[in-house]
Every structure is written in C-alpha cells, then in structure tokens.
Structure 1
Amino acid sequence: MDASPDLPRQGRVPVFNLPGIVTISIAVLAAIHLVRTVLPDGIDLSVLLNLAFIPARWTASFDPSTAAAIIGAAGEGAGGPELASARQEFARYLVTDPSAMPWTGASYALLHGSWMHLIFNVVWLAAFGAPVARRYGALRYAILALAGIVAGAVLHLLIDPYSLMPLVGASAGISALMAAAARFVFQPPPPFEAGAPWQLPPRPPLQTIPELMRNRTAVLFLGIWFVTNLLFGVLALPLGGGEGPIAWDAHLGGFAAGFFLLPLMERGSLRNRP
C-alpha cells in the first residue's frame, strides 16, 4: 500500500520565470518596436504623430486661443534659428486643426525611442511588474499600469502644456508598478508554520505609509528613485538610451497613481488571502 502523501501536481517549469501577463507585455512592446524599425520613415512618423502624447496638441484642442502662445513658445527653445523655425512650423501644423486624440493618453506607452530605451524599461517591468502580477493577477496588474500611464500623461500635460516633444515609453506605467510593489516587497514574510511541506506562507499585508517610512530598505529605494528622476529631469539628460530627456513628471504621475491606487486593489482580493 502506498503511504506517500497526495502531493499537488507539479506544473511544467516555464522557460521564463515571469507571470504570463508580464511576458505578454514585454513581447508586445518588443514586437511594436521591431515593426517600427522596418517601416519607411514617412509611415513611422505617421505612427508617432498618431500614437505619441504631445501636450501642445491637447492644450490647443482644449483651448484654441492658446495657439499663438504655443507657436511663440516653440521659437524660444534651445538651438539655432533653423531649429526654432522648424519647431514653429510643427507647432503651426498641430494648432491648425487641433485634435486631442484622446487615445494618445495611453497609446504613447506602446512606443519607444530606441532599443536601449525599450530594454531599460523591460528590465524594470520584469523586476517590478512580476510581483504585482503574482499577487493581484493579470487584470489588476493591467489596471494599475494603465492608471499610471494615464496619470503620467495628465501630470506631464499640466506641467508642460506647450511642449511639442512627443512623449513615448511605458515608464509611467512601470513607475506605477514600482510604487505598487514597494508597498509590500520590502518586508519579511509574516511568521508561518507550515503544516505540510508544500504549503506556502501567507502573503505579507500592504504596509501603511507610516510603516513604509520606518522601513529603511523601502525608504532607500524610494529616495533613490525620486532623486534620480528629479536629477535627470532638472539636468535634462537622457536616461536608458532614450533620444531625449526623460519625462520625470510623467514618471512621478505614474508613481503616485500606483502608490495610492493599490490599496483599492487590495480590497476584496481573493489572491491575497492565505
């Protein structure tokens, strides 16, 4: 008679130790960028203009009276007269028949400025998207990322409403996932005595803000994240291989969305119960 315990069936070992939704996210971003690299320049420019988030286009759409101010601001940027003239021509193109293109408040996250920009984002997505997806599942992961993307675009618009620089990249959504993960990954698991070898410990609860501020590891991570973003934003330096300076304000908007929205995701989460 076989007295061995009835162990749970073991699934196949995945090729990549990432939740499926994170793997799909990475694959979609990589596929889109790969397709863009083989498109003719004219078509790729059309993709950029129709999917990237351009604050000045939204500003002119909401308030057409700002058209003159947008064109004037375009001529005041850095660079010589030829570059200033080109920016003003682009501004005139945007404000002649302005349309906010509301989908660009989310679709900009599908585009990246270079392979290095994409790789940089993918590394952070794998690191911080994975724990969020494992804890909350694909739907809540997607909601948090999308909320961060939209919040990043909104804050970027509020801070730099006349900007003609197309905003691209998934960094705001990844920042939301970073903030969400920071609420629970930087703490030891709760005390647990397993009744059977295959039983897993319960998931640690979310830390409150006071608890998080007493967690030295979490405070160090948050401090480095904020200082890095503000430093590169103030110095207008590229980060992660992008072709332009990072949109620190979009990152901040995404981070705030993930940090404060996560407790709402926690409520009623069956995945979080031991």
Structure 2
Amino acid sequence: MFSNLPRVIKALLVANGVVFLLQQVLGDFAMAPLMLWPLGSGADASAVSPFLPWQLLTYGFMHGSFAHLLFNMLALLMFGAPLAHTWGERRFLTFFLVCVLGAAVCQLAVGAWTMSEGGDAYPTVGASGGVFGLLLAYGMLFPHQRVMLLIPPIPMKARTLVIVYGLAELMLGFTGWQPGVAHFAHLGGMLFGWLLIRYWRGQPPFGRRGPPRPRVVR
C-alpha cells in the first residue's frame, strides 16, 4: 500500500514522523521555537519562545502525542491520497500548506484575544488545520463518496461528514467544552481551503468578470 501512495503523501508522513521523534528525543523545550506562539508572547513570562515567522508552517509538523499524530496521519492517508491523485502533487502540496498557514492565522487571532483577556501565552502544534482543509476538499470534490467514521463507526456521505465536523468544531470552539484543542485553527484550515478551491475555480469572491454589458444607443 505504501509503495502506491503519491510521493508527496509519503514525504509528509515521513516528515511528521521524524519531527515527532525529534520531539521525544530533544524535548518540548528545545523544540519550542518551532511551535506556533501568539503574537507578542515574547513579553509574556509564561512563554518559552516568542512568535517567529517560520512557526506559521513548522507547527503543522509537530504533535502533542502519538494518538494526535496517528489520527492526523490516518486522515492524511484517507483524504490526501485521492486528492493528490486528482490534483497532482504540486497543487496538492500547495493546498495543504495554505490550509496549515490559514489555520495558523486564525489561531494567532485567538491567541491574541486570549492574551488580551489576561490569559497565558500557549503554543499550538499539529497538522490538524491542514487535515481539516483536506477533509473539506474531499467533501467538495467527492461529495457523494461514502466514508466511515472511526468514532463512532457510522458510514455517511463525504459532504455530510464535512458539515458534521464543521458544525461540531464551531460549537466546541464557542462553548469551550473541549479545552486544549485549537478548534478555530481547524475551522481556519477549512476556510482557507474553501477559499483556495474557489480561487482555482474562478468562483466568487474570486469570480472572473463576465462579458461587458451592452450599451443602449438612444
């Protein structure tokens, strides 16, 4: 199975695995400059690292636990491989990284709000923003494809799965029922993925202008 995967999927799997091993060997303190820290966190006593520009992408190759890594890599295999075969590897990688970047932008906004309310600066890690973008893309390209949830094991159409996950993330983000999870980063990955697909398709808000309206000669 691994030999038949697109090279970009293999590369992402290996990169995430290697970075996770480095986290275990070097420890979180040494790897902190690669995590996503809020803007202005350098002035916060609770922060180990300030925000640095490369964190917008590097955080997406780090994970908080083996289970976190496992679920993200399974989703990358499940949704990413068909998309890479459909789009080609270069476009797929562009899409994935844009979703990771978009998730980071949304998380920076959340982190800035948290600190403005007196909260501590905390880092964000994980490829989940990119994975949620892949989930959205899969639902848009293959809306009627049936997929099986892991927990609970319920089959449903891909389009339905996207709607269910999107609404769940929105609810959990606003209610705070699942603290410690960057729900708005997940939504940011979906949002930026949706915008990029609309851009590629020439659809609003990036729609091409139609033919000029005829002038009426009086």
Q: Secondary structure at the match of 2:199?
A: helix
TM-score by length of 2: 0.75
Contact 2:138–2:158 (Cα < 8 Å) also in 1: no
Deviation at 1:112, TM superposition (A): 0.4
Deviation at 1:218, TM superposition (A): 4.7
1:46 paired with 2:33, answer: no
Q: Secondary structure at the match of 1:144?
A: helix
Structure with larger Rg: 1
- Relative to 1, partners in 2 of residues 1:22 and 1:32: Cα closer, same or farther, differing over 3 Å? same
Counterpart for residue 30 of structure 1: 17
Q: Secondary structure at the match of 2:40?
A: helix
1:127 paired with 2:78, answer: yes
Counterpart for residue 77 of structure 1: none
- Relative to 1, partners in 2 of residues 1:265 and 1:136: Cα closer, same or farther, differing over 3 Å? farther
Matches of 1:16 and 1:228, distance apart in 2: 35
Counterpart for residue 178 of structure 2: 237
Matches of 2:111 and 2:52, distance apart in 1: 18
Which amino acid is the alignment partner of residue 237 of structure 1? Q
Deviation at 1:52, TM superposition (A): 0.5
Aligned residues: CA RMSD: 2.4
Task: Give the counterpart of 2:95 among 144, 156, 173.
Answer: 144
Contact 2:135–2:162 (Cα < 8 Å) also in 1: no
Contact 2:143–2:157 (Cα < 8 Å) also in 1: yes
Deviation at 1:253, TM superposition (A): 0.6
Aligned runs of 1:179-198 on 2, under 5 Å? 179-187=136-144
Which amino acid is the alignment partner of residue 148 of structure 1? C
Q: Secondary structure at the match of 2:106?
A: helix
TM-score by length of 1: 0.61
Matches of 2:82 and 2:186, distance apart in 1: 19
Task: Give the counterpart of 1:252 among 172, 177, 187.
Answer: 187
Which amino acid is the alignment partner of residue 142 of structure 1? L
Counterpart for residue 169 of structure 1: 126
Identity of aligned residues (%): 29
Aligned runs of 1:13-162 on 2, under 5 Å? 15-39=2-26, 41=27, 44-47=28-31, 49-55=32-38, 58-59=39-40, 89-91=45-47, 99-161=50-112, 162=115
Gaps of 5+ in 1: 1-13, 62-66, 72-88, 189-215, 239-244, 268-274
Contact 1:232–1:246 (Cα < 8 Å) also in 2: no
Gaps of 5+ in 2: 146-155, 203-218
